[in-house]
């Protein structure tokens, strides 16, 4: 059996931790991995334990950025995300919701990849902006709090990642 190629979109901090935990749970017998890492993140690379190509992309902004800053950074992020997806040619994209996941997932979906989205554990009462945007695009949408299923009826509650 040919392993399924999964492009993992990490973020910083909790997003990375949750993505790497998912990789641990999935294992390497049936999957091979590559990664999208925010270029400004010096920590994530040291945490990746399962080998795979790493594609660095510009961050589209942070939660503290103004809308103007985010819009100014979005073209570069989108271009770099597109190049990463074209280089990786994944069968699926797995992410827990950093902002950089939106252009990666949109481009990957256009190229036929499946999108697996796991809403961050920190989102208890409402979906993140990334979750709201990707809820329409994801083939599988997981929430870690059952209450969030009210926002995305097709969401799967499968417990929490620890």
CA angle 148, 117, 127 (to 5 degrees): 30
pLDDT tens column, 88-142: 999 999 998 888 999 999 999 999 999 999 987 666 678 888 898 999 999 999 9
Query: Residue 140 sits in which domain range?
Result: 4-157
Q: Is residue 78 part of a domain?
A: yes
Q: DSSP letters of 2-34?
A: PPEEEEEE--STHHHHHHHHHHHHH-SSSEEEE
Q: Is residue 162 part of a domain?
A: no
2 Cβ contact list (under 8 Å, min separation 6): none
What is the average pLDDT across 10-27?
A: 84
Q: Is residue 101 part of a domain?
A: yes
- To the nearest 10 degrees (0 to 180), the angle between helices 101-110 and 67-88 is 40
Distance CA 45, CA 156 (A): 30
CB atoms within 10 A of CB 14: 15
Distance CA 157, CA 21 (A): 17
Q: What CATH number did the domain enclosing 96 receive?
A: 3.40.50.2000
Counted domains in the chain: 1
What is the average pLDDT across 2-6?
A: 95
pLDDT at 144 over 90: no
């Amino acid at each position: 059996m040919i392993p399924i190629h999964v492009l993992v979109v990490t973020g910083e901090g909790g997003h990375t931790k949750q993505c790497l935990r998912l990789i641990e749970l999935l294992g390497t017998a049936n999957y091979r991995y590559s990664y999208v890492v925010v270029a400004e993140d010096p920590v994530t690379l040291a945490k990746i334990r399962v080998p795979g190509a790493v594609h660095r992309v510009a961050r589209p902004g942070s939660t503290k950025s103004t809308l103007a800053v985010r819009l100014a950074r979005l073209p570069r992020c989108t271009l770099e995300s597109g190049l990463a997806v074209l280089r990786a040619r994944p069968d699926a994209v797995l992410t827990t919701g950093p902002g950089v996941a939106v252009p990666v997932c949109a481009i990957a979906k256009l190229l036929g990849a499946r999108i697996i989205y796991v809403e961050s554990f920190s989102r208890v009462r409402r979906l993140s902006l990334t979750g709201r945007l990707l809820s329409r695009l994801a083939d599988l949408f997981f929430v870690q709090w059952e209450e969030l299923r009210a926002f995305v009826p097709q969401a799967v509650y499968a417990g929490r990642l620890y």
